[in-house]
Amino acid sequence: MMKIGIIREYKDPPDSRAPLTPSQVAFLRNELDIDIVVQSAPGRCYSDNEYTEAGVPVVESVHDCDVLMGVKEVPVHKLIAGKTYMIFSHTIKKQEQNRKLLKEILKYNIRLIDYELLTNTHGQRLIAFGHFAGMVGAHNALWTWGKKTGQFDLPRMKDLLDYEAAKKTYGKIKLPPVKIVLTGTGRVGTGALLTLKDMGIKQIDPEMYLNEKFPYPVFTQLLPHHYAANVDGDAFDKSVFYNDPAQFKSIFWPFACSSDIMVNGIYYVDDAPAFFTLE
């Protein structure tokens, strides 16, 4: 029978995430009769004891496992030859920092199943953290503003049990009349949008955002035509912008001047116009 091992994370700074919760592992073992164990990890968001209480074996070595499941990249010196790894390897975009990792994976005859490449029949990713990245990004933006100004104090998202705990803290703080500009409407953008709304911050139309003042905190969410324009003055075409962003210039400056906080939710490429520069 194939044996699966949930491995500990070795990222620096430490990553506390786990690919499966104690209840999920218990379900796989008890209902589907899958042999799966968890490698001990003191920094994991779920303690060893939580897995043990769910009836899941917690082990130190996973060398006898066939499939190893983690979250982030595995250090080269921790790779086990001949295994199947399920992780986010961050190699598909030819990331320079992980070229050595990919070479060693090939060298040690390791089969790599990258979560980033798992898609449905429509080519859409099945596993993506973008939505949650947007939620945490918006939270961290307000956390940073609070620290900078001393006007309010938020706990770090990583120190909260779950998002419900975060929402409870939002109801206990009074935000000043800050203006927040949010870019992006994909997974990251929608995640940030959710958190800003859960903070009780009112969403405003971009034009109204630029031209009016508000006695309470507000945010606006920009579409590409709000922050980029064709250098030749042609009408904005989103497909052209995505395929050849070098043809466009930034028109973001009015929003930069009107905002206290920017939450960026777009994927930036080198040819795209910068939102703003030091000049």
Q: Tokens 């250090």 belong to which residue? A: 75
Instruction: Spell out a b/e string for 211-248, using b for 16 or more CB atoms within 10 Å of the CB, else e.
Output: eeeeeebbbbbbebbbbbbeeeeeeeeeeebeeebebb
Work out the pLDDT band at 258, boundaries 50, 70, 90.
very high
Q: What is the model's pLDDT at position 213?
A: 94
Q: Which fold has domain 3-117?
A: Rossmann fold (3.40.50)
pLDDT higher than 90, residue 5: yes
pLDDT in tens, 106-116: 999 999 999 99
Q: What is the model's pLDDT at position 83?
A: 98
Q: What is the mean pLDDT of the chain?
A: 95
Q: What is the model's pLDDT at position 265?
A: 95
pLDDT in tens, 186-236: 999 999 999 999 999 999 999 999 999 999 999 999 999 999 999 999 999
Query: Closest by alpha carbon to 222, among 260, 255, 261?
Result: 255
Size of the chain in residues = 279
What's the rounded mean pLDDT across residues 64-80?
97
* Residues forming CATH 3.40.50.720 domain(s) in the chain: 3-117
Report pTM: 0.80
Q: What is the model's pLDDT at position 269?
A: 83
Per DSSP, 151 falls in state S
Instruction: Return all residues near 53 (Cβ < 8 A) that are at least 6 apart.
Output: 22
Round to whole Å and give the CA distance between 261 and 195. 14
Round to whole Å and give the CA distance between 272 and 262. 18
